[in-house]
Chain A
């Protein structure tokens, strides 16, 4: 069985991520040990809460270096929610913070009004449809979202910030909210970031996790 490691750095709903992995027949290893992370076949970096706090928790425990070395092996690496956002070069939630820098770009606050100035509730909390970007269908099909038609399924989002990469071709999926397109998933090299919570997105989320395990 392939070794799937869930990073335990004190931030994130690790219980639910492990439960969802068990549901699809995996035996996740929840760990904060560098050697176990380095030896993993696949890793998942969860995360909830504020960007700065999560990044600080990672860096203060030296995980940024461990994850960087893992990333360089080319093995599959998934970030969920703030675990995705931290892969960006920069975050602005509660002050400026440097991220892990796997993907160039920033983590920006979700616009709080529609184009015609109506208020949109933030955080964005909903089951948003996952939609491929224009021209991004091939990338979508090769990713853990592949197999679903663009727009055919939805997943659970809860976030106030979203990733805005410099290179738009890294965007794997978007979701519409208040007339704005928010980044729902990013794929770059061996990193896949999901803004939604696959562990809380029912059978759809489990299928995404299953496909990540099959990469």
Chain B
């Protein structure tokens, strides 16, 4: 199965930021400039998250998405503070391909069904912030890992699938921004509990974290990274080489670009 490598871009107002365990956010650059750079380097998708959106109960990324979507021709997912069909409509109309919902879905799971029914399952991503519990398992959190829902992550993923989500995006709150590697037990549990594609996020700081996770979780569709790419701990060209060496099937942008050049020449 061909896997996807995704850049996650956390945004506060007009700034690209990055925190640790979804806290302590720092500015790390421009959300548009980084997107163009990752696109040029062959990233497969982008995920924009409005980090402060839930506080204001609305997503503020429409302007950024509109500018990026006219320059970057890969799928774009937008999340953060989306709580109504009107908000989804606004984001899809400016070029988002999918929306990721978390807080609003935990309060009103019908929203998943409503979005999927109106805009299609392919546009409906259930985002889950997973925090490990002392007694084992994980709890679904909201508002960047601050608020509890009491929901078991694996059961919530299964419910999200039953309610019509087309994809599950799971972030480990414990590993996020630490660079200590991904939570394999979490990713394995979620991926094998559903029949949907799963995107895993949190903890990558070297290529081996990505290759290990893909190798250990056969059915995992995609890995999203933030800090690792923003700080050049992992570069996309290096990651493709490491994946190829490990026998993991990812898009080979260099040979595809060569095919494009050959086509122009012929």
Which A residues are closer than 8 A to B by beta carbons?
Answer: 13, 15-16, 19-20, 22-23, 48-50, 112, 118-123, 125-129, 147-149, 152-154, 156, 158-160, 177-178, 197, 199-207
Q: Which residues of B contact A112 (CB under 8 A)?
A: 195
Known: A48-B120, A153-B259, A204-B260. 13 other contacts (CB 8 A): A15-B95, A19-B69, A119-B195, A119-B219, A125-B4, A129-B2, A147-B266, A148-B259, A149-B259, A158-B75, A201-B73, A201-B74, A206-B73
Interchain CB contact under 8 A, B73 and A123: no
Residue of B2, B3, B262 ringed by the most chain A CB atoms within 10 A: B2
Interchain CB contact under 8 A, B256 and A126: no
* Given the contacts A128-B2, A153-B259, A160-B121, A121 and B197 also touching, CB distance less than 8 Å: yes
B221 at the binding interface (Cβ < 8 Å): yes
Interchain CB contact under 8 A, A154 and B1: no
Shortest Cβ distance from A209 into chain B, in angstroms?
Answer: 10
Interchain CB contact under 8 A, B93 and A200: no
Interchain CB contact under 8 A, B74 and A200: yes
Interchain CB contact under 8 A, A23 and B73: yes
B26 at the binding interface (Cβ < 8 Å): no
Shortest Cβ distance from A12 into chain B, in angstroms?
Answer: 10
Q: Which residues of A contact B218 (CB under 8 A)?
A: 118
- 24 pairs of residues in contact across A and B, judged by CB atoms under 8 Å: A13-B97, A15-B69, A15-B93, A23-B73, A48-B119, A48-B122, A119-B195, A122-B196, A125-B4, A125-B166, A127-B44, A129-B2, A147-B263, A153-B259, A158-B75, A158-B97, A160-B121, A160-B122, A199-B73, A200-B73, A200-B74, A202-B39, A203-B73, A203-B260
Partner pick for B166 among A123, A127, A147, A202, CB 8 A cutoff: A123
* Given the contacts A48-B123, A156-B75, A207 and B97 also touching, CB distance less than 8 Å: no
Interface size on B, residues (CB 8 A): 40
CA distance A207 to B196 in the complex (A): 31
Q: Which residues of B contact A159 (CB under 8 A)?
A: 122
B198 at the binding interface (Cβ < 8 Å): yes
Shortest Cβ distance from B240 into chain A, in angstroms?
Answer: 12
* Given the contacts A49-B122, A125-B197, A153 and B74 also touching, CB distance less than 8 Å: no
Shortest Cβ distance from B38 into chain A, in angstroms?
Answer: 12
CA distance A196 to B165 in the complex (A): 20
Q: Which residues of B contact A126 (CB under 8 A)?
A: 1-4, 221
Within 8 A of A (CB), among B60-83: 69-70, 73-75
B255 at the binding interface (Cβ < 8 Å): yes
Interchain CB contact under 8 A, B259 and A177: no
CA distance A20 to B71 in the complex (A): 9
CA distance A121 to B196 in the complex (A): 5
The 6 closest A-B pairs by CB, nearest first: A49-B120, A147-B263, A152-B259, A121-B197, A127-B251, A158-B122
Nearest B residue (CB) for A159: B122
Nearest A residue (CB) for B66: A15
Nearest A residue (CB) for B168: A121
* Given the contacts A159-B122, A204-B256, A125 and B167 also touching, CB distance less than 8 Å: yes
Interchain CB contact under 8 A, A123 and B2: no
Nearest A residue (CB) for B255: A152
Q: Which residues of B contact A154 (CB under 8 A)?
A: 2, 251, 256
CA distance A137 to B94 in the complex (A): 38
Interchain CB contact under 8 A, B119 and A49: yes
Q: Which residues of A contact B120 (CB under 8 A)?
A: 48-50
Nearest B residue (CB) for A23: B73
